[in-house]
Protein backbone atom coordinates (compact mmCIF):
# COMPACT_ATOMS: atom_id res chain seq x y z
CA UNK A 1 0.00 0.00 0.00
CA UNK A 2 1.21 3.50 -0.83
CA UNK A 3 2.07 5.74 2.09
CA UNK A 4 0.16 8.49 0.27
CA UNK A 5 -3.60 8.66 -0.39
CA UNK A 6 -5.37 11.14 -2.65
CA UNK A 7 -9.17 11.15 -2.70
CA UNK A 8 -10.26 13.37 -5.59
CA UNK A 9 -13.39 15.17 -6.73
CA UNK A 10 -15.65 14.31 -3.80
CA UNK A 11 -18.06 16.45 -1.82
CA UNK A 12 -15.97 16.91 1.32
CA UNK A 13 -18.03 17.37 4.49
CA UNK A 14 -16.12 18.14 7.69
CA UNK A 15 -18.50 19.88 10.14
CA UNK A 16 -15.77 20.57 12.70
CA UNK A 17 -13.98 22.78 10.21
CA UNK A 18 -17.05 24.19 8.46
CA UNK A 19 -16.18 22.43 5.23
CA UNK A 20 -18.88 21.33 2.78
CA UNK A 21 -18.03 21.48 -0.88
CA UNK A 22 -16.16 19.93 -3.75
CA UNK A 23 -12.53 19.20 -3.03
CA UNK A 24 -9.73 16.70 -2.49
CA UNK A 25 -8.45 14.96 0.63
CA UNK A 26 -4.78 14.13 1.12
CA UNK A 27 -3.16 11.62 3.48
CA UNK A 28 0.49 11.04 4.23
CA UNK A 29 1.63 8.22 6.55
CA UNK A 30 -1.87 7.70 7.90
CA UNK A 31 -2.67 11.32 8.83
CA UNK A 32 -4.47 14.17 7.07
CA UNK A 33 -2.23 16.71 5.35
CA UNK A 34 -2.98 19.97 3.56
CA UNK A 35 -1.54 18.78 0.27
CA UNK A 36 0.94 16.41 -1.33
CA UNK A 37 3.97 17.35 -3.38
CA UNK A 38 4.00 16.57 -7.09
CA UNK A 39 6.23 13.56 -6.43
CA UNK A 40 3.97 12.35 -3.63
CA UNK A 41 0.89 12.76 -5.83
CA UNK A 42 2.56 10.68 -8.49
CA UNK A 43 3.22 7.93 -5.94
CA UNK A 44 -0.16 8.15 -4.20
CA UNK A 45 -3.04 5.71 -4.24
CA UNK A 46 -5.78 7.70 -5.96
CA UNK A 47 -9.53 7.26 -5.60
CA UNK A 48 -11.95 9.30 -7.70
CA UNK A 49 -14.91 10.16 -5.44
CA UNK A 50 -16.93 11.93 -8.13
CA UNK A 51 -20.58 11.96 -7.02
CA UNK A 52 -19.71 10.73 -3.52
CA UNK A 53 -19.49 12.31 -0.07
CA UNK A 54 -16.13 12.21 1.71
CA UNK A 55 -16.41 12.78 5.46
CA UNK A 56 -14.77 11.86 8.77
CA UNK A 57 -15.08 8.22 9.72
CA UNK A 58 -18.28 7.64 11.68
CA UNK A 59 -18.12 7.02 15.43
CA UNK A 60 -20.45 4.64 17.29
CA UNK A 61 -20.30 4.89 21.08
CA UNK A 62 -22.74 2.04 21.76
CA UNK A 63 -21.76 -1.36 20.34
CA UNK A 64 -21.96 -4.91 21.67
CA UNK A 65 -19.10 -7.00 20.28
CA UNK A 66 -19.90 -10.04 22.49
CA UNK A 67 -16.21 -10.77 22.97
CA UNK A 68 -15.14 -12.41 25.25
CA UNK A 69 -17.51 -15.28 25.88
CA UNK A 70 -20.32 -14.89 23.34
CA UNK A 71 -18.46 -15.13 20.05
CA UNK A 72 -21.12 -17.40 18.55
CA UNK A 73 -23.11 -14.14 18.18
CA UNK A 74 -20.31 -11.75 17.25
CA UNK A 75 -16.59 -11.34 17.72
CA UNK A 76 -14.28 -8.39 17.43
CA UNK A 77 -13.28 -9.41 13.91
CA UNK A 78 -16.83 -9.65 12.55
CA UNK A 79 -18.09 -6.70 14.57
CA UNK A 80 -15.33 -4.48 13.25
CA UNK A 81 -16.08 -5.61 9.69
CA UNK A 82 -19.73 -4.69 10.21
CA UNK A 83 -18.59 -1.30 11.49
CA UNK A 84 -16.38 -0.71 8.46
CA UNK A 85 -19.20 -1.71 6.10
CA UNK A 86 -21.35 0.93 7.77
CA UNK A 87 -18.72 3.67 7.51
CA UNK A 88 -17.73 3.50 11.18
CA UNK A 89 -14.04 3.82 11.92
CA UNK A 90 -14.24 4.06 15.72
CA UNK A 91 -16.54 2.03 17.97
CA UNK A 92 -17.00 1.88 21.73
CA UNK A 93 -17.79 -1.60 23.01
CA UNK A 94 -19.97 -2.39 26.02
CA UNK A 95 -18.77 -4.45 29.01
CA UNK A 96 -21.65 -6.96 29.32
CA UNK A 97 -19.54 -9.81 28.00
CA UNK A 98 -18.82 -13.22 29.58
CA UNK A 99 -17.17 -12.53 31.94
CA UNK A 100 -18.20 -8.91 32.42
CA UNK A 101 -15.44 -6.39 31.79
CA UNK A 102 -15.11 -5.35 35.43
CA UNK A 103 -11.33 -5.72 35.83
CA UNK A 104 -8.15 -4.59 34.13
CA UNK A 105 -7.34 -8.10 32.89
CA UNK A 106 -10.51 -8.40 30.83
CA UNK A 107 -10.03 -4.89 29.44
CA UNK A 108 -6.50 -5.79 28.37
CA UNK A 109 -7.79 -8.95 26.71
CA UNK A 110 -10.30 -6.92 24.69
CA UNK A 111 -7.61 -4.45 23.68
CA UNK A 112 -5.18 -7.21 22.67
CA UNK A 113 -7.86 -8.99 20.62
CA UNK A 114 -8.83 -5.74 18.94
CA UNK A 115 -5.21 -5.03 18.10
CA UNK A 116 -4.91 -8.43 16.44
CA UNK A 117 -8.32 -8.77 14.77
CA UNK A 118 -10.08 -5.44 14.34
CA UNK A 119 -10.02 -3.39 11.15
CA UNK A 120 -11.36 -0.30 12.96
CA UNK A 121 -10.52 1.52 16.20
CA UNK A 122 -12.08 -0.24 19.21
CA UNK A 123 -12.40 1.49 22.58
CA UNK A 124 -13.55 -0.54 25.60
CA UNK A 125 -15.81 0.54 28.43
CA UNK A 126 -15.63 -0.93 31.91
CA UNK A 127 -18.34 -1.92 34.35
CA UNK A 128 -19.90 0.51 36.78
CA UNK A 129 -20.48 -2.29 39.31
CA UNK A 130 -18.95 -5.74 39.68
CA UNK A 131 -20.50 -8.15 37.20
CA UNK A 132 -23.09 -5.52 36.34
CA UNK A 133 -25.02 -6.65 39.40
CA UNK A 134 -25.54 -3.18 40.85
CA UNK A 135 -24.24 -4.21 44.29
CA UNK A 136 -20.53 -3.42 44.61
CA UNK A 137 -18.56 -0.77 42.76
CA UNK A 138 -16.12 -1.87 40.08
CA UNK A 139 -12.46 -0.79 40.55
CA UNK A 140 -12.67 2.34 38.39
CA UNK A 141 -9.13 3.43 39.12
CA UNK A 142 -7.66 0.28 37.63
CA UNK A 143 -10.20 0.32 34.79
CA UNK A 144 -9.19 3.90 34.02
CA UNK A 145 -5.51 2.97 33.99
CA UNK A 146 -6.33 -0.01 31.75
CA UNK A 147 -7.70 2.40 29.17
CA UNK A 148 -11.51 2.43 29.34
CA UNK A 149 -13.20 5.50 27.87
CA UNK A 150 -16.35 5.27 30.04
CA UNK A 151 -18.05 3.09 32.64
CA UNK A 152 -21.48 1.52 32.30
CA UNK A 153 -23.56 -1.48 33.29
CA UNK A 154 -25.27 -1.36 29.90
CA UNK A 155 -27.83 -4.09 29.56
CA UNK A 156 -28.66 -3.48 33.19
CA UNK A 157 -29.32 -0.40 35.26
CA UNK A 158 -28.17 0.24 38.83
CA UNK A 159 -31.41 0.25 40.82
CA UNK A 160 -30.02 1.35 44.19
CA UNK A 161 -29.77 5.14 44.17
CA UNK A 162 -27.16 5.17 46.93
CA UNK A 163 -24.86 2.87 45.01
CA UNK A 164 -25.43 4.89 41.84
CA UNK A 165 -24.48 8.08 43.67
CA UNK A 166 -21.21 6.56 44.87
CA UNK A 167 -20.52 5.13 41.44
CA UNK A 168 -20.89 8.45 39.62
CA UNK A 169 -18.81 10.23 42.26
CA UNK A 170 -16.09 7.62 41.87
CA UNK A 171 -16.16 7.86 38.06
CA UNK A 172 -16.08 11.65 38.26
CA UNK A 173 -12.80 11.47 40.19
CA UNK A 174 -11.18 9.92 37.12
CA UNK A 175 -13.00 12.08 34.56
CA UNK A 176 -14.88 9.08 33.21
CA UNK A 177 -18.37 9.59 31.79
CA UNK A 178 -21.04 7.27 33.17
CA UNK A 179 -23.19 5.75 30.42
CA UNK A 180 -26.51 4.54 31.80
CA UNK A 181 -29.12 2.16 30.44
CA UNK A 182 -32.14 3.92 31.96
CA UNK A 183 -34.58 1.27 33.16
CA UNK A 184 -36.49 0.92 36.42
CA UNK A 185 -36.70 -2.87 36.62
CA UNK A 186 -39.66 -2.93 39.02
CA UNK A 187 -41.87 -1.07 36.56
CA UNK A 188 -40.64 -2.85 33.44
CA UNK A 189 -40.54 -6.40 34.81
CA UNK A 190 -42.07 -8.83 32.33
CA UNK A 191 -42.53 -6.15 29.67
CA UNK A 192 -42.08 -7.16 26.05
CA UNK A 193 -43.06 -4.02 24.14
CA UNK A 194 -44.24 -0.47 24.73
CA UNK A 195 -47.26 -0.24 26.99
CA UNK A 196 -50.15 1.22 25.02
CA UNK A 197 -52.59 0.60 22.21
CA UNK A 198 -50.48 -2.00 20.41
CA UNK A 199 -49.49 -4.02 23.48
CA UNK A 200 -53.18 -4.26 24.40
CA UNK A 201 -54.18 -5.18 20.87
CA UNK A 202 -51.45 -7.81 20.54
CA UNK A 203 -51.95 -9.24 24.01
CA UNK A 204 -48.36 -8.63 25.06
CA UNK A 205 -47.03 -7.41 28.41
CA UNK A 206 -46.49 -3.66 28.32
CA UNK A 207 -43.36 -1.68 29.18
CA UNK A 208 -44.29 1.89 30.17
CA UNK A 209 -42.31 5.02 29.36
CA UNK A 210 -42.12 5.64 33.09
CA UNK A 211 -39.55 2.84 33.35
CA UNK A 212 -37.14 5.12 31.49
CA UNK A 213 -38.39 8.46 32.77
CA UNK A 214 -37.81 7.62 36.43
CA UNK A 215 -34.15 6.75 35.90
CA UNK A 216 -33.49 9.71 33.61
CA UNK A 217 -34.86 12.01 36.32
CA UNK A 218 -32.72 10.20 38.93
CA UNK A 219 -29.62 10.66 36.81
CA UNK A 220 -30.28 14.34 36.23
CA UNK A 221 -30.59 14.86 39.99
CA UNK A 222 -27.37 12.93 40.67
CA UNK A 223 -25.47 14.80 37.98
CA UNK A 224 -26.59 18.13 39.43
CA UNK A 225 -25.65 16.97 42.93
CA UNK A 226 -22.22 15.54 42.06
CA UNK A 227 -21.16 17.35 38.89
CA UNK A 228 -20.53 13.98 37.23
CA UNK A 229 -21.12 13.52 33.50
CA UNK A 230 -23.98 11.05 33.06
CA UNK A 231 -24.85 9.97 29.54
CA UNK A 232 -28.32 8.55 28.89
CA UNK A 233 -28.18 5.67 26.44
CA UNK A 234 -30.79 5.02 23.71
CA UNK A 235 -33.48 7.49 24.78
CA UNK A 236 -36.95 6.41 23.67
CA UNK A 237 -39.47 8.46 25.68
CA UNK A 238 -40.80 11.93 24.84
CA UNK A 239 -40.93 12.84 28.53
CA UNK A 240 -37.27 11.85 28.97
CA UNK A 241 -36.32 14.13 26.08
CA UNK A 242 -38.15 17.05 27.69
CA UNK A 243 -36.50 16.43 31.08
CA UNK A 244 -33.09 16.35 29.41
CA UNK A 245 -33.87 19.56 27.54
CA UNK A 246 -34.65 21.36 30.79
CA UNK A 247 -31.59 19.89 32.52
CA UNK A 248 -29.29 21.11 29.77
CA UNK A 249 -30.86 24.56 29.92
CA UNK A 250 -29.96 24.57 33.63
CA UNK A 251 -26.34 23.68 32.84
CA UNK A 252 -26.44 20.15 34.26
CA UNK A 253 -23.69 17.85 32.96
CA UNK A 254 -25.83 15.29 31.13
CA UNK A 255 -25.90 13.99 27.57
CA UNK A 256 -27.81 11.41 25.55
CA UNK A 257 -27.94 9.37 22.38
CA UNK A 258 -30.70 8.12 20.09
CA UNK A 259 -30.68 4.99 17.96
CA UNK A 260 -31.57 4.63 14.27
CA UNK A 261 -34.35 2.17 15.13
CA UNK A 262 -36.09 4.51 17.55
CA UNK A 263 -36.29 7.25 14.93
CA UNK A 264 -37.41 4.85 12.18
CA UNK A 265 -39.95 2.46 13.71
CA UNK A 266 -42.86 2.69 16.15
CA UNK A 267 -44.49 0.00 18.28
CA UNK A 268 -46.97 -0.64 15.47
CA UNK A 269 -44.13 -2.41 13.63
CA UNK A 270 -44.57 -5.33 16.06
CA UNK A 271 -48.06 -6.07 14.76
CA UNK A 272 -46.78 -9.27 13.10
CA UNK A 273 -44.86 -10.38 16.22
CA UNK A 274 -41.48 -10.11 14.49
CA UNK A 275 -38.85 -10.77 17.16
CA UNK A 276 -36.29 -8.77 15.17
CA UNK A 277 -38.26 -5.72 16.30
CA UNK A 278 -37.98 -6.62 19.98
CA UNK A 279 -35.48 -4.31 21.60
CA UNK A 280 -34.61 -2.65 24.89
CA UNK A 281 -35.88 0.00 25.36
CA UNK A 282 -38.86 -0.94 23.21
CA UNK A 283 -40.13 0.86 20.16
CA UNK A 284 -42.50 3.61 21.29
CA UNK A 285 -45.35 5.65 19.81
CA UNK A 286 -45.25 8.08 16.91
CA UNK A 287 -45.29 10.95 19.43
CA UNK A 288 -42.19 9.52 21.12
CA UNK A 289 -40.48 9.01 17.75
CA UNK A 290 -41.12 12.61 16.78
CA UNK A 291 -39.83 13.82 20.16
CA UNK A 292 -36.59 11.87 19.70
CA UNK A 293 -36.13 13.40 16.23
CA UNK A 294 -36.81 16.88 17.60
CA UNK A 295 -34.26 16.26 20.35
CA UNK A 296 -31.61 15.35 17.79
CA UNK A 297 -32.39 18.41 15.70
CA UNK A 298 -32.24 20.93 18.55
CA UNK A 299 -29.21 19.45 20.32
CA UNK A 300 -31.03 18.03 23.33
CA UNK A 301 -29.86 14.59 22.21
CA UNK A 302 -26.15 14.78 21.45
CA UNK A 303 -25.47 11.97 19.02
CA UNK A 304 -26.61 8.78 17.31
CA UNK A 305 -25.47 5.37 18.58
CA UNK A 306 -26.59 2.08 17.09
CA UNK A 307 -26.83 -0.18 20.17
CA UNK A 308 -25.64 -2.93 17.79
CA UNK A 309 -26.72 -6.08 19.66
CA UNK A 310 -26.17 -9.35 17.76
CA UNK A 311 -28.11 -12.54 18.56
CA UNK A 312 -28.17 -15.83 16.70
CA UNK A 313 -31.08 -16.89 14.51
CA UNK A 314 -31.88 -19.72 16.94
CA UNK A 315 -32.20 -17.23 19.78
CA UNK A 316 -34.37 -14.82 17.83
CA UNK A 317 -36.52 -17.47 16.12
CA UNK A 318 -38.84 -17.84 19.10
CA UNK A 319 -42.14 -16.47 20.26
CA UNK A 320 -41.83 -12.79 21.16
CA UNK A 321 -41.99 -13.36 24.92
CA UNK A 322 -39.01 -15.74 24.83
CA UNK A 323 -36.77 -14.04 22.27
CA UNK A 324 -33.93 -11.82 23.53
CA UNK A 325 -33.95 -8.06 23.12
CA UNK A 326 -31.69 -6.46 20.52
CA UNK A 327 -30.84 -5.98 16.85
CA UNK A 328 -27.79 -5.45 14.67
CA UNK A 329 -27.48 -1.94 13.31
CA UNK A 330 -24.08 -0.71 12.17
CA UNK A 331 -24.37 -1.73 8.52
CA UNK A 332 -27.71 0.03 8.06
CA UNK A 333 -27.33 3.02 10.41
CA UNK A 334 -26.22 5.65 7.91
CA UNK A 335 -28.88 4.76 5.35
CA UNK A 336 -31.63 4.67 7.99
CA UNK A 337 -30.64 8.07 9.37
CA UNK A 338 -30.37 9.53 5.88
CA UNK A 339 -33.89 8.31 5.16
CA UNK A 340 -35.42 9.73 8.33
CA UNK A 341 -33.49 12.98 8.72
CA UNK A 342 -31.95 14.08 5.41
CA UNK A 343 -34.11 12.74 2.59
CA UNK A 344 -37.15 13.99 4.51
CA UNK A 345 -35.66 17.50 4.60
CA UNK A 346 -35.44 17.66 8.39
CA UNK A 347 -31.69 18.30 8.58
CA UNK A 348 -28.66 18.89 6.42
CA UNK A 349 -26.23 16.20 5.42
CA UNK A 350 -23.52 18.07 7.33
CA UNK A 351 -25.55 17.97 10.55
CA UNK A 352 -26.16 14.23 10.21
CA UNK A 353 -22.45 13.58 9.64
CA UNK A 354 -21.74 15.57 12.81
CA UNK A 355 -24.32 13.58 14.82
CA UNK A 356 -22.74 10.32 13.65
CA UNK A 357 -19.09 11.28 14.08
CA UNK A 358 -17.71 14.24 16.06
CA UNK A 359 -20.60 14.56 18.50
CA UNK A 360 -20.34 10.95 19.69
CA UNK A 361 -16.56 11.16 19.88
CA UNK A 362 -16.89 14.16 22.14
CA UNK A 363 -19.00 12.27 24.69
CA UNK A 364 -16.11 9.89 25.41
CA UNK A 365 -13.34 12.40 24.62
CA UNK A 366 -11.96 10.75 21.52
CA UNK A 367 -9.94 12.80 19.06
CA UNK A 368 -12.05 11.46 16.23
CA UNK A 369 -14.80 12.63 13.93
CA UNK A 370 -12.87 15.44 12.24
CA UNK A 371 -10.53 15.84 9.29
CA UNK A 372 -8.16 18.20 11.10
CA UNK A 373 -4.70 18.39 9.57
CA UNK A 374 -2.41 16.10 11.57
CA UNK A 375 -5.21 13.83 12.81
CA UNK A 376 -5.37 10.15 11.94
CA UNK A 377 -7.00 9.77 8.54
CA UNK A 378 -10.24 7.93 9.34
CA UNK A 379 -12.59 8.46 6.40
CA UNK A 380 -16.04 7.41 5.22
CA UNK A 381 -16.94 7.69 1.53
CA UNK A 382 -20.62 7.21 0.65
CA UNK A 383 -23.33 7.88 -1.89
CA UNK A 384 -26.24 9.49 0.00
CA UNK A 385 -28.78 8.63 -2.70
CA UNK A 386 -27.84 5.16 -3.90
CA UNK A 387 -30.60 2.58 -3.26
CA UNK A 388 -29.73 -0.88 -2.01
CA UNK A 389 -31.66 -3.80 -0.62
CA UNK A 390 -30.92 -4.93 2.92
CA UNK A 391 -30.38 -8.67 2.94
CA UNK A 392 -28.11 -11.29 4.49
CA UNK A 393 -25.41 -12.35 4.65
CA UNK A 394 -24.17 -9.40 6.67
CA UNK A 395 -20.62 -8.64 7.71
CA UNK A 396 -21.87 -9.11 11.27
CA UNK A 397 -21.88 -12.75 12.31
CA UNK A 398 -25.57 -12.42 13.23
CA UNK A 399 -28.52 -11.41 11.06
CA UNK A 400 -31.13 -10.08 13.50
CA UNK A 401 -31.86 -7.02 11.37
CA UNK A 402 -35.35 -5.45 11.29
CA UNK A 403 -34.69 -3.74 7.93
CA UNK A 404 -34.12 -7.03 6.07
CA UNK A 405 -35.98 -6.97 2.77
CA UNK A 406 -36.31 -3.17 2.70
CA UNK A 407 -34.70 -0.89 0.15
CA UNK A 408 -32.80 1.99 1.75
CA UNK A 409 -31.01 4.95 0.18
CA UNK A 410 -27.44 5.76 1.10
CA UNK A 411 -24.57 3.33 0.65
CA UNK A 412 -21.05 3.31 2.02
CA UNK A 413 -18.54 2.78 -0.78
CA UNK A 414 -15.22 2.98 1.07
CA UNK A 415 -13.95 3.21 4.63
CA UNK A 416 -10.39 4.11 5.55
CA UNK A 417 -8.70 3.79 8.96
CA UNK A 418 -5.43 5.71 9.33
CA UNK A 419 -5.41 6.00 5.55
CA UNK A 420 -5.72 2.24 4.99
CA UNK A 421 -8.68 0.88 3.03
CA UNK A 422 -10.74 -1.39 5.31
CA UNK A 423 -14.01 -1.51 3.33
CA UNK A 424 -14.61 -1.44 -0.40
CA UNK A 425 -18.17 -2.09 -1.55
CA UNK A 426 -16.78 -3.37 -4.85
CA UNK A 427 -14.57 -5.95 -3.13
CA UNK A 428 -16.05 -6.88 0.26
CA UNK A 429 -14.55 -9.61 2.45
CA UNK A 430 -16.44 -12.89 2.59
CA UNK A 431 -18.91 -12.75 5.52
CA UNK A 432 -18.40 -15.01 8.52
CA UNK A 433 -21.77 -16.76 8.88
CA UNK A 434 -23.03 -17.59 12.36
CA UNK A 435 -22.24 -21.10 13.53
Domains and CATH numbers, the chain: 4-54+375-394+406-424 (2.30.40.10), 57-363 (3.20.20.140)
Section 397-412 average pLDDT: 98
402/74 Cα distance (integer angstroms): 17
Section 125-154 average pLDDT: 97
Going by pLDDT thresholds of 50, 70 and 90, the confidence category of residue 320 is very high
Q: What's the pLDDT at 432?
A: 79
Going by pLDDT thresholds of 50, 70 and 90, the confidence category of residue 2 is low
| pLDDT, mean over the chain | 97
5-55 residue pLDDT tens: 999 999 999 999 999 999 999 999 999 999 999 999 999 999 999 999 999
Going by pLDDT thresholds of 50, 70 and 90, the confidence category of residue 239 is very high
Residue 355 has pLDDT above 70, yes or no: yes
Q: What's the pLDDT at 191?
A: 96
Section 178-201 average pLDDT: 97
Residue 435 has pLDDT above 70, yes or no: no
412-434 residue pLDDT tens: 999 999 999 999 999 999 887 65
Hey, what long-range contacts does 139-143 have (CB within 8 A, 24 or more apart)? 139/102, 139/103, 139/104, 140/170, 140/171, 140/173, 140/174, 140/176, 141/174, 142/103, 142/104, 143/102, 143/103, 143/104, 143/107, 143/176
Section 167-188 average pLDDT: 97
Residue 87 has pLDDT above 70, yes or no: yes
252-279 residue pLDDT tens: 999 999 999 999 999 999 999 999 999 9
Task: Write the burial class of residue 162 (CB in 10 Å: 0-12 exposed, 13-18 middle, 19+ buried).
Answer: exposed
Q: What's the pLDDT at 347?
A: 97
* φ, ψ at 424 (rounded to 5°): -135, 115
Nearest one of 321, 316, 430, 390 to 73, comparing CA atoms: 316
**What is the set of active-site residues?**
307
Instruction: Provide, rounded to the nearest whole percent, the portion of the chain with pLDDT above 90.
Output: 98
Nearest one of 86, 149, 148, 83 to 120, comparing CA atoms: 83
Hey, what long-range contacts does 205-212 have (CB within 8 A, 24 or more apart)? 205/321, 207/281, 207/282, 209/236, 209/237, 209/238, 209/239, 209/240, 209/284, 209/288, 210/184, 211/183, 211/184, 211/185, 211/187, 211/281, 212/182, 212/183, 212/184, 212/236, 212/237, 212/240, 212/281
Residue 1 has pLDDT above 70, yes or no: no
Q: What's the pLDDT at 434?
A: 59
Residue 219 has pLDDT above 90, yes or no: yes
Amino acid sequence: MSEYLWIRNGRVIDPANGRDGAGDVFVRDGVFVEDLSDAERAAATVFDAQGLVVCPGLVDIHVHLRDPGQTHKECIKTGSRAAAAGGFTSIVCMPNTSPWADNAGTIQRIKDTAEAQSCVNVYPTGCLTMGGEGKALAPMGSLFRAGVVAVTDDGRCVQNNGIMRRAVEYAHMFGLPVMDHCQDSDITEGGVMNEGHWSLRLGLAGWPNAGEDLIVSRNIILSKYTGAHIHMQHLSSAHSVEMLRRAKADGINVSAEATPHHIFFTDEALRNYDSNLKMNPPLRTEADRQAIIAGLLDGTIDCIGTDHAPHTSDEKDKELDAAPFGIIGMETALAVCLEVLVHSGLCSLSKLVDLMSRKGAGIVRLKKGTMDIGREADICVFDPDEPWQVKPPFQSRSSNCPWTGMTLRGRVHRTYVKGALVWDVENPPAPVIEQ
